[in-house]
């Protein structure tokens, strides 16, 4: 493997040192996007969980701030949420707006909770997240007797005038409500017999309302993490589309329908930003760009793991029904250093459609047309390849990743070879974002998202190359280079 500096992302958030996993408490206030995250400063493997903290004005340049929440006598600070208490409904902020955070207190053992050490705690900040006070009556929700009771997501539900919390309850999501942000009543649960499950608990729920694009109607989206058996082996994120009345979530689809938010291996614990101003109106989200089976074994030493690039979600009607679509945040285009495009390049079997050299980060947009029985082999960087094939009227994408280090767990779990069927098209558009150790791919205007880490073994200059290995292909190509941001 290379020296770890070659894997430090240019565009993606990563900790200066130590371990990072889930994004927590994403909230916008006073012109700042806050990103809290599961953090262990003492080592670059998972350990006693803190909430790390960073802020940004554009979702791309992040300023590291001191740790927001640290373990105490009650336990560690697992994943959770933050939100603006508008108009001081909680009474904690002397009439001004303040920030509330809910997190899971994860103890070895809580005195009253016997064998069930996970409960929900609250903290608040009157100075835009710079200092936090843990509520002195924590936990605000005691464990009801569940092995897995964690990752609260809280929002204000205006029609009923109460707060709502969705929280992992084993293989289900518990829904609670509160009028004062401190006392919580159980409303309902969702999940039994619904969507994808494995033998472990669902994790990191999110629930939000989103308009159907081009319509006045909206739907509610419930996101949950599946720990070990997602679309690809390991951790992945699924979502449900439905109705929510402040107390109950109803799935619009058949319970057997499984909707994956991403079809790669490194897009987990997705959370969306709270309190984005209405004038902006976007539903912005970020994910942990890793996967539990190998997360602790990635080939960096002083820091480990990064976040995905922030995504904007839209809900669009497709021939399969409503589906969430992704876009990389538009703020990225302000960071382009050099852009170039070429129209209608054509290549036949055995020849190259295009190649470009890149260093640090590259965005590549392709509109490809393939003849029947054709195959395009795209190698964005060493270690990962995409094969796009047309055959029997169907478009197929194969994603192959290699990787070998001195770590046996990495060698066993990191390489992959999987397929995604993309229907009966012969035209496909790709939006690829390449950074020093990741390949993020959006297909068909964000209908599919595929996020994968990659650790090239040669550096620092890479060649992104598209080769036609069968038939014939044509493409419009547009690429944008990034380089180090001015600080
Ligand atoms: C998901 C998760 C959460 C938990 C956190 C602990 O990746 O397992 O369920 O709160 O990580 O770090």
Ligand 1: atom nearest CA of 151 is 10
Catalytic entry in 22, 85, 151, 206: 22
* Residue of 269, 286, 290, 295 best suited for mutating to test ligand 1, as the one with most atoms within 8 Å of CB: 269
Whether 62 and 209 map to the same domain: the answer is yes
Dihedral (Cα; 438, 441, 446, 449), 10-degree rounding: -70
Average pLDDT over residues 422-432: 94
Rounded to the nearest whole angstrom, what is the distance from the C-alpha of residue 40 to the centroid of ligand 1? 12
Is 234's pLDDT higher than 60? yes
Ligand 1: atom nearest CA of 49 is 12
Rounded to the nearest whole angstrom, what is the distance from the C-alpha of residue 22 to the centroid of ligand 1? 7
Whether 318 and 341 map to the same domain: the answer is no
In a domain, 34, yes or no: yes
Q: Please work out whether the CB of residue 149 comes within 6 Å of at least one atom of ligand 1.
A: no
Is 420's pLDDT higher than 90? yes
* Residue 40, both tokens: 């262990």
Is 483's pLDDT higher than 90? no
Write the residue with the smallest CA distance to atom 6 of ligand 1.
78
Ligand 1: atom nearest CA of 148 is 9
Whether 314 and 370 map to the same domain: the answer is no
In a domain, 122, yes or no: yes
In a domain, 278, yes or no: yes
Is 460's pLDDT higher than 90? no
Q: Please work out whether the CB of residue 477 comes within 6 Å of at least one atom of ligand 1.
A: no
262 catalytic? Reply is no
Q: Please work out whether the CB of residue 49 comes within 6 Å of at least one atom of ligand 1.
A: yes
Domain that holds residue 436: 335-482
pLDDT at 156: 98
Per cent of the chain over pLDDT 90 is 95
pTM for the model stands at: 0.97
Q: Please work out whether the CB of residue 12 comes within 6 Å of at least one atom of ligand 1.
A: no
pLDDT at 111: 62
Whether 232 and 215 map to the same domain: the answer is yes
Whether 281 and 351 map to the same domain: the answer is no
Whether 137 and 283 map to the same domain: the answer is yes
Write the residue with the smallest CA distance to atom 8 of ligand 1.
203
Rounded to the nearest whole angstrom, what is the distance from the C-alpha of residue 235 to the centroid of ligand 1? 11
Q: What is the CATH classification number for the domain harbouring 78?
A: 2.115.10.20
In a domain, 247, yes or no: yes
pLDDT at 486: 37
Tell me if 410 sits within 8 A of 298, measured CB to CB. yes
User: Whose CA is closest to 431, among 418, 416, 448?
Assistant: 448
Q: What is the CATH classification number for the domain harbouring 342?
A: 2.60.120.560
Mean pLDDT, all residues of the chain: 96
Q: Please work out whether the CB of residue 104 comes within 6 Å of at least one atom of ligand 1.
A: yes
Whether 27 and 59 map to the same domain: the answer is yes
Whether 290 and 438 map to the same domain: the answer is no
Q: Which of 328, 353, 374 is the last residue of a domain?
A: 328
In a domain, 96, yes or no: yes
Instruction: Give residue-wise pLDDT tens across range 325-381.
Output: 999 999 999 999 999 998 889 999 999 999 999 999 999 999 999 999 999 999 999
In a domain, 6, yes or no: no
In a domain, 99, yes or no: yes
Q: Please work out whether the CB of residue 38 comes within 6 Å of at least one atom of ligand 1.
A: yes
pLDDT at 108: 75
In a domain, 8, yes or no: no
Question: For residue 112, what pLDDT band results from cuts at 50, 70 and 90?
Answer: low
Q: Please work out whether the CB of residue 266 comes within 6 Å of at least one atom of ligand 1.
A: no
Ligand 1: atom nearest CA of 80 is 10
Question: For residue 109, what pLDDT band results from cuts at 50, 70 and 90?
Answer: low
Q: Which of 328, 358, 374 is the last residue of a domain?
A: 328
Whether 137 and 228 map to the same domain: the answer is yes
Q: Please work out whether the CB of residue 148 comes within 6 Å of at least one atom of ligand 1.
A: no
Q: Which of 328, 361, 396 is the last residue of a domain?
A: 328
Q: Please work out whether the CB of residue 22 comes within 6 Å of at least one atom of ligand 1.
A: yes
pLDDT at 411: 97
Q: How many structural domains is the chain composed of?
A: 2
Beta-bridged to residue 50, according to DSSP, are: 39
Q: Please work out whether the CB of residue 295 comes within 6 Å of at least one atom of ligand 1.
A: no
Whether 59 and 129 map to the same domain: the answer is yes
Rounded to the nearest whole angstrom, what is the distance from the C-alpha of residue 471 to the centroid of ligand 1? 46
Write the residue with the smallest CA distance to atom 9 of ligand 1.
203
Q: Please work out whether the CB of residue 440 comes within 6 Å of at least one atom of ligand 1.
A: no
Question: For residue 487, what pLDDT band results from cuts at 50, 70 and 90?
Answer: very low
Q: Could you give the CA distance from residue 69 to residue 77 in angstroms, rounded to a whole number? A: 7
Instruction: Give residue-wise pLDDT tens across range 67-104.
Output: 999 999 999 999 999 999 999 999 999 999 999 999 99
Average pLDDT over residues 112-137: 91
Instruction: Give residue-wise pLDDT tens across range 205-232.
Output: 999 999 999 999 999 999 999 999 999 9
Q: Could you give the CA distance from residue 458 to residue 466 in angstroms, rounded to a whole number? A: 19
Per cent of the chain over pLDDT 70 is 98
Whether 35 and 150 map to the same domain: the answer is yes
Instruction: Give residue-wise pLDDT tens across range 176-192.
Output: 999 999 999 999 999 99
Write the residue with the smallest CA distance to atom 7 of ligand 1.
22
Ligand 1: atom nearest CA of 288 is 7
Rounded to the nearest whole angstrom, what is the distance from the C-alpha of residue 283 to the centroid of ligand 1? 23
Whether 239 and 254 map to the same domain: the answer is yes
Ligand 1: atom nearest CA of 168 is 9
């Amino acid at each position: 493997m290379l020296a770890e500096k070659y894997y430090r992302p240019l565009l993606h958030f990563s900790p200066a040192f130590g371990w990072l996993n889930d994004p927590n408490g994403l909230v916008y206030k006073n012109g700042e996007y806050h990103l809290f995250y599961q953090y262990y400063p003492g080592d670059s493997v998972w350990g006693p969980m803190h909430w790390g903290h960073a802020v940004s004005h554009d979702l791309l340049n992040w300023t590291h701030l001191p740790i927001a929440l640290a373990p105490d006598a009650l336990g560690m600070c697992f994943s959770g949420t933050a939100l603006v208490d508008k108009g001081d409904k909680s009474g904690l902020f002397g009439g001004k707006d303040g920030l509330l955070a809910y997190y899971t207190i994860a103890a070895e053992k809580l005195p009253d909770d016997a064998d069930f050490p996970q409960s929900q705690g609250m903290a608040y900040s009157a100075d835009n997240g710079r200092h936090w006070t843990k509520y002195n009556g924590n936990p605000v929700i005691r464990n009801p007797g569940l092995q897995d009771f964690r990752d609260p997501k809280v929002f204000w539900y205006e029609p009923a005038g109460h707060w709502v919390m969705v929280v992992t309850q084993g293989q289900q999501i518990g829904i609670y409500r509160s009028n004062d942000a401190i006392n919580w009543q159980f409303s309902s649960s969702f999940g039994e017999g619904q969507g994808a499950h494995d033998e472990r608990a669902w994790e990191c729920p999110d629930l939000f309302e989103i308009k159907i694009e081009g319509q006045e109607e909206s739907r509610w989206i419930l996101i949950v993490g599946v720990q070990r058996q997602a679309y690809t082996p390991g951790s992945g994120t699924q979502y449900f589309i439905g109705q929510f009345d402040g107390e109950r979530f109803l799935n619009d689809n058949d319970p057997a329908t499984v909707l994956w938010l991403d079809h790669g291996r490194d897009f987990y614990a997705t959370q969306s930003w709270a309190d984005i101003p209405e004038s902006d109106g976007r539903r912005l989200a970020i994910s942990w760009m890793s996967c539990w089976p190998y997360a602790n074994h990635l080939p960096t030493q002083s820091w480990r793991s990064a976040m995905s690039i922030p995504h904007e979600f839209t809900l669009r009607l497709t021939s399969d029904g409503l589906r969430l679509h992704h876009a990389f945040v538009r703020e990225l285009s302000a960071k382009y250093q050099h852009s170039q495009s070429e129209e209608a390049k054509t290549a036949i079997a055995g020849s190259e459609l295009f190649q470009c050299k890149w260093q640090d980060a590259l965005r590549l947009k392709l509109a490809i047309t393939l003849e029947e029985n054709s195959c395009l082999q795209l190698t964005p960087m060493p270690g990962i390849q995409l094969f796009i094939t047309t055959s029997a009227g169907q478009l197929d994408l194969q994603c192959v990743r290699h990787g070998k280090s001195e770590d046996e767990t990495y060698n066993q779990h990191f390489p992959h070879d999987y397929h995604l069927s993309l229907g009966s098209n012969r035209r496909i558009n790709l939006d690829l974002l390449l950074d020093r150790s990741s390949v993020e791919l959006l297909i068909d205007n964000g209908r599919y998202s595929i996020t994968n880490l990659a650790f090239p073994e040669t550096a620092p200059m890479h060649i992104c190359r598209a080769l036609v290995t069968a038939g014939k292909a044509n493409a419009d190509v547009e690429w944008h280079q990034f380089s180090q941001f001015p600080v």
